[in-house]
Amino acid sequence: MVSGLLLRRIFLTVAEASSRVSLGTRGQWFGFTTSTTRFSESSLPNPDSVVSYKQLKNMLSTHNVQLFDVRNQDEFMAGRIPDSLNIPLGQLEESLKLSPEHFQLQFEVKAPGKDDDNIVFHCQKGRRSAEALAIARQLGFNRYNTL
């Protein structure tokens, strides 16, 4: 039993390490998993669209950010960045398709515009925010960022 658990743990560790994708130019790693979605180099966020902690801190202090937390509601409730709006990844596409009026009624904040340059998506490890970027791109949002 112990050896089976140990072998399973080794397999999971190797599988997890092999499923990571490097952004390369900045030496940053995102913990992409390959369980349901596979990311190609073209679907990874552009390194220029990755917001650093320092940049986000500045954006938050000047109130110049539309910060969308795409984690599940229970994760959001357990801890969040102040002034972030929780829209779980599974609801993001439908929410971004809402008219500005309906978006504001549902979320009590101004709807993001397709040309806004202060839209930031974030999650726990980066996989869901990368998926959020892909959704926003498909919906015609031109400028967006990930944390």
pLDDT beyond 60 at 121: yes
pLDDT beyond 60 at 35: no
List, in order of start, the domains of the chain with CATH numbers. 35-146 (3.40.250.10)
Those residues with Cβ within 8 angstroms of residue 143's Cβ, 6 or more apart along the chain or in another chain: 115, 116, 117, 119
pLDDT of residue 51: 83
**CA distance to 55, 91, 98, per residue, from 49 (Å):** 11, 22, 24
pLDDT of residue 138: 94
Mean pLDDT score, 9-27: 38
B/e letters for 73-82, b = 16+ CB within 10 Å, e = fewer, are: eebbeeeeee
B/e letters for 36-59, b = 16+ CB within 10 Å, e = fewer, are: eeebeeeebbeeeebbeeeebeeb
Mean predicted lDDT score pLDDT of the chain: 75
Full-prediction pTM beyond 0.75? no
* Contact (CB, 8 A) for 95 and 106: yes
* Contact (CB, 8 A) for 65 and 110: no
Residues carrying an active site annotation: 123
Cα(first)–Cα(last) distance of the chain, in Å?
Answer: 41
pLDDT, tens digit, 9 for 90 and up, residues 54-73: 988 999 999 999 999 999 99
* Contact (CB, 8 A) for 126 and 40: no
pLDDT beyond 70 at 84: yes
pLDDT beyond 90 at 53: no
